[in-house]
Amino acid sequence: MTNERRTVHSNNAPYWRQFIFLGIGMIAYTVCRAGFPVGLAAMSKQFEWTAFEVGILSTIFLLGQAIIDIPAGYWADSLDRKRVIFVGLFGLGLFTALVTLATGFWSALVFRVLFGVLEGVYNIAQFAVAGSILPGQRALVNGMTQVFYGIGNFGGQTFVGSLLHLYPGFWQLPLWCLGGFAMAYGVLSLFLFQRQYLRRNETQGVQAKLGFWPTLKVVVTNIRVWKALTIHACNMIPNWAILGLGNYIFIQYRHYDPAFSSLVFGAGAGAGGLFVPLGTMWADRFGRRPVVCFFGLWMCVSVLLLFYLAPANWTMIVLGGCVGFGLNSLYTLGYTITQDAVASASMNGIGVATGMAGGFGYLFAVLAGPLVGWLIPLIGPLWSMNLVVIGGELLVVVFGFWFLKDEKLARRTAAAKAS
């Protein structure tokens, strides 16, 4: 009976405190994720990889996330979230450092997939916590995770870019530093998080008693979940075409200095991520459909200007911020609309839905790197990015307008029941 006791607290302060600790973990998670692609050009020169091989390595870790995300969502529902967070943080830091032991393409691929598995454990746990502890402000809270993501994106890319500028070709050094930082915070997290504030209005024992497969069936048979996942998947391919290969294209084909390239995608996109709560607040206020469609169109214009028309000066950094704003807003809203589909007065099952958003989205995102790498010899690097990114975001607009017609009404009904 004690395991099934509802954890209801009227004071939001302890939940916000846990969210801040979760956000610091998001920074550790993101510096490892965002730092690796900056060093890909140096790695490809050392190992003499083709553009297609680089494309695979830029996004193959997402295969690990796609594999683990649904089980990770179930673990976030049924197991001790504090321990799940620790395993994810420590593991992703460990494999960030261990990839420096790679001796060629295949060993690097294995290390990156294992990194993705552990990264997925943390990513799903943090979104499951953020999406459930303050349910009345779900989109806003999920959006605020992207503030920390923006800080990590800036920190990871600029840190790696600066070290590569000082020590050209020494790509191992920044990965040792970033991996060590993530592992250290993983250990510290055991002392910072409080179990009773990692859940709210939910029963930890219910999902464990129901079992994994019945819980998964409840979510999988929900048509609203699949509509949300379709929108999310259409954004994930453009998302990782930019995050995985943006720096590589600028450094390898435009011959920009790694410090400048990382400034565009780190400082620019990172600063754009800081404004994501504004976009998700609009989604809470005006409904999901208009905001999703707006950001899809915003991305089309921003990416075209950044990759094809902008001169190599401060204009690129500003456009990088515009891309970061749209990219991270749509990424966050993908998780949010999936959580909306299963949310009720009880938050049970929200972890599995979050895991499905991650797993399904990353399964498609894995294709981004190989697709762009395959297109580069055919139509050139810049138009490859434009085709993949703009094409995907136009689908976001179409499906967002089609599938989210009644989303605002559904959210109001769910909020009324919760109150």
| Residue 43 belongs to some domain of the structure | yes
Q: Is 5 left (phi over 0), alpha (psi -120 to 50) or beta?
A: beta
Q: What is the pLDDT along the chain (419 residues), one digit of tens a residue?
A: 344 334 444 578 888 888 999 999 999 999 999 899 999 989 999 999 998 999 999 989 989 988 998 888 888 878 888 999 999 999 999 999 999 999 999 999 999 999 999 999 998 888 888 877 776 677 778 788 878 988 898 889 889 989 999 999 999 999 999 999 999 999 999 999 998 888 776 554 454 455 667 767 777 888 888 999 999 999 999 998 998 888 889 988 888 988 898 888 877 777 777 888 888 888 888 889 999 999 999 999 999 999 888 888 889 999 999 998 998 899 889 988 887 887 653 445 566 777 788 788 888 888 888 999 899 999 998 889 889 999 999 999 999 999 997 555 555 665 565 55
Is there a contact between 195 and 80 (Cβ–Cβ < 8 Å)? yes
Domain membership flag for residue 4: no
Structure tokens belonging to residue 224: 């609203």
Sign of the torsion formed by the C-alpha atoms of 291, 24, 343 and 239? positive
Can you tell me the distance from the alpha carbon of 356 to that of 219, in angstroms, rounded to the nearest whole number?
A: 9
- Answer left, alpha or beta for residue 200, where phi above 0 means left and psi between -120 and 50 means alpha: beta
Q: d(Cα 21, Cα 197) in Å, to the nearest integer?
A: 12
CATH number, domain of 305, equals 1.20.1250.20
Whole-angstrom distance, CA of residue 81 vs CA of residue 385: 38
Q: How many domains does the chain have?
A: 1
- pLDDT, position 419: 57
User: 3 in a domain, yes or no?
Assistant: no
- How many C-beta atoms surround the C-beta of residue 314 within 10 A? 12
- Cβ atoms of 74 and 98 within 8 Å: the answer is no
Model pTM score: 0.74
Structure tokens at 19: 């969210």
Q: How far apart are CA 60 and CA 114, in angstroms?
A: 10
Domain that includes residue 127, residue range: 11-418
Is residue 346 domain-resident?
yes
In a domain, 6, yes or no: no
In a domain, 194, yes or no: yes
Residue 388 and residue 59 in contact, taking contact as beta carbons nearer than 8 Å: no
What is the per-residue pLDDT across 89-118, written as a single tens digit (0 to 9) for each? 999 999 999 999 999 999 999 999 999 999
H or E element: which one contains 259? Answer: helix 258-262
Domain annotation covers residue 66: yes
Q: Two tokens at 382?
A: 């810049």
Q: Is 414 part of a structural domain of the chain?
A: yes
